[in-house]
Each structure stands twice: as C-alpha cells, then as structure tokens.
Amino acid sequence: MSQRAKHPTRNAVVALAAAGMGVTAVFGAGASAVAAEAQAPLAMDTAAAVTAQAQAQTAKAAQAKAVKAAAVKAAAAKKAAKAVGWIKPVTGYTLTAGYNQGGAMWTNKHSGQDFAVPVGTLVKAVHGGTVVKAGPNGGGDGPAYGNAIVIKHANGTYSQYAHLSKINVKIGSKVKTGQLIARSGNTGNSSGPHLHFEIRTTPNYGSSVNPASFLRAEGVFI
C-alpha cells in the first residue's frame, strides 16, 4: 500500500482544500469580470461628459469671440461714419444771401444759403447719398434754380445745389461725402455767380430748413 493510502483522512482534507481553492479562484475571477464590466460604462460616461464639456467650452469661446468681433466692427463703422461726417459744399466762398432773407429777388423769402464763388468752382456733396434730381429747370423745382441737383441722405434729409454751370451726376447716382457733383454757375434767377444751397426734409421746394444751423449741428461751420 502506498504512503498516500495510509492517510485517507489527510488526503481528503487536502483534496477539499484544493477544491475550495479552485472554487475561490473561479468565483474570484467571475467577480473581477463583473466589476470590470460595471466599471466600463462608467468610464465611457465620464469620457463622454469630458468631451461634451470641452465642446461646450469651445462653443462658448467661439460665441464670445464672435460677439467681440461684431462689437469691434460696429465701433469701427461708427467711427468711420463720424470721421466722414458732413462738409461744406464749396470752398473759397463769400457768404451772401442767407436763409429766410427777404428781398425783391424772391417771391417768398430766401429758401437757402448763397455762397458767392467764381463760375466753375468745384461743388461737392456735403454728405453721401443718392441723387434724386439732376438737370435744368431746377431739376424739376422750377426755372428760378437753373441747373440743379438734389441728393437724398440716409438720415432722411436732402441737400440741394442750384445755379450750376455743369452737372456731373445723374438721377440714381450714388455719391460719397466730398465727391465732385457739379461746377458752380450763374444759371436761373441769379444776380451773379454763386451756389445756392438748401437742406430739405423732402426732395421738393417748400420743405427747406436753415442750412447753416443744420450744418452747425453736424459740426460744420460756414
């Protein structure tokens, strides 16, 4: 009989212990696998949350950048508009008949401001806009104005230039502040070479306001 057969009780204990270790190993491995499976979705959820947070931060930063860029652009546009502003229609002038002045030259009181200048003096748009009248017969306002131009501006006002010797624009022309639009003359009801200038609330005769006061409010002093 072998040495192992002589101790059946001890052998049984050893076998049971070995079996127990096997069961423990099996169940231990199973528990580890279950734990790993439970942790996998958690890791995925965490990664997704981190990605979503990063995307949200990126979108927020892009939005803030776009808002800032729009504000800078608006400020630049406002500054540019202010820099252009309004200007005088001619230079090298002498002021003669003023707004609302009475006299035998006019059926009613004078509707604008006269700038005495030599024939052929450059006449410029006092502000950017669109030409709505241009031609003889006051551009449609009557023969007293001679050759004339009316420009509509973005703020709803109109500027008129009359007694011109030459017109360089036509109806529908887009003009910029300071752009050459005509040359002064002595056409129409005129007592001498000059530019008749008006500021109006409509394109038509009878809606004029004091042009000197208007330009003064825009920072232009004549």
Catalytic residue ranges: 194
Q: Token match 């509707």: residue?
A: 111
Instruction: Give φ, ψ of 150 to 5 degrees.
Output: -130, 130
**Alpha carbon distance 145, 130 (integer Å):** 20
**Alpha carbon distance 149, 134 (integer Å):** 4
Instruction: Give φ, ψ of 25 to 5 degrees.
Output: -65, -40
At residue 65, the 3 state secondary structure works out as helix
In this structure, what DSSP letter does residue 186 have? -
Q: Token match 């306002």: residue?
A: 141
CB 138 within 8 A of CB 176: no
CB 184 within 8 A of CB 163: yes
What's the distance, CA 41 to chain centroid?
50
